[in-house]
Amino acid sequence: MIRRRHLNALLFIVPAAAIYGTFVLGPFLQTVWLSFHKWDGASPVRLWIGLENYGAAARDGIFWRALSHNLVFIAMNLALPTGIGLLLAALVAQVKRGRTLYRFGLFLPYVLSLAIVGIIWGRIYDPNIGIINQVFRALGLEALARPWLGDANTVLVAINLAGVWHACPFAMVIYLAGLQGVDSGLYDAARIDGANSVQTFRHVTVPSLRNVTTLLVSGAFISALTAFTLVWTMTGGGPYYASEVISTYIYKRAFEDIHVGYGSALSVCLALVALTATGLFVWLREREG
């Protein structure tokens, strides 16, 4: 009987394991193997060079600069979408009439693909026809108008704000779902104790949504570490690598410069960073629990 149960369980696991091995584990192992070679992506000859690609990555200043830009993405994506999403969810949850309409309207940005979001915000930031600079000029604040995506001092923040606009609706919907599972008795007890709205939000709502926040933070972390679409559609990593992130740099080295082996090594480095950070995050989360 026990063997039959194990066999049934195995039959359910095998299809998923086969798909995972074929489309995830297999390509990853192939990438690791290619990272030890010098290869142009077309020639059948693959020259084994050992750890040379990894040594080049360690000396590559642009790679480390791109990694620092990913850290900026992580900082902004961990704080803003989750914080704004939680605030929106708390406000929408208080609406008695038209709640569905509010949810629909606020969720619309997330329906758009990141490529479309990049194009839209690229027009918003346009130095000549963009609405931001037009508003500044209309208010007599021409000194504040600038090429937002062409200025190394503002390009990272500008791209991240576009990403925040796209990500907030998802966080809001997840928090709204989490709010439905909060025990209403906790709010009743808070009101009896004389807590105001801010105190109730801080001491009841936020702690009750801890698991939801963990889910959103972990997802935002991975998304920020592997950011590609917004950067590519808005700036392509420019100006002068000022908005370059690891994913765009890997793409350029592997498919534009035709250094597939080096691009594979950079991909492995990115995967190791992601796995290490995720493992640390899970360990800290379990330790707190």
Neighbours of 37 (CB within 10 A): 19
Select from 127, 152, 145 the least CA-distant residue to 238. 152
pLDDT, position 45: 67
When the candidates are 2.120.10.30, 1.10.3720.10, 1.20.1070.10, 1.10.10.10, the CATH number that belongs to 35-288 is 1.10.3720.10
* The amino acid at 35: S
Looking at the predicted structure, is the pLDDT value of residue 277 above 60?
A: yes
Tokens of 209: 């949504």
Tens digits of per-residue pLDDT, 105-139? 889 899 999 999 999 999 999 998 999 999 999 99
Q: Map residue 48 onto helix, strand or coil.
A: strand
- Predicted pLDDT of residue 288: 63
Q: What percent of the chain has pLDDT over 70?
A: 98
What residues does each domain of the chain span?
1-30, 35-288
Enumerate residues 6+ apart whose C-beta is below 8 A from 193.
none
Give backbone dihedrals phi and psi of 82, rounded to 5 degrees, phi first: -70, -40
Q: Which amino acid is at 261?
A: G
Rounded Cα distance, 27 and 25, in Å: 6
Report helix, strand or coil for 246.
Answer: helix
Residue 125 contacts residue 148 (beta carbons within 8 Å): yes
What's the pLDDT tens digit per position in 122-181?
999 999 899 999 999 999 888 889 999 999 999 999 999 999 999 999 999 999 988 888
Specify the pLDDT at position 289: 57
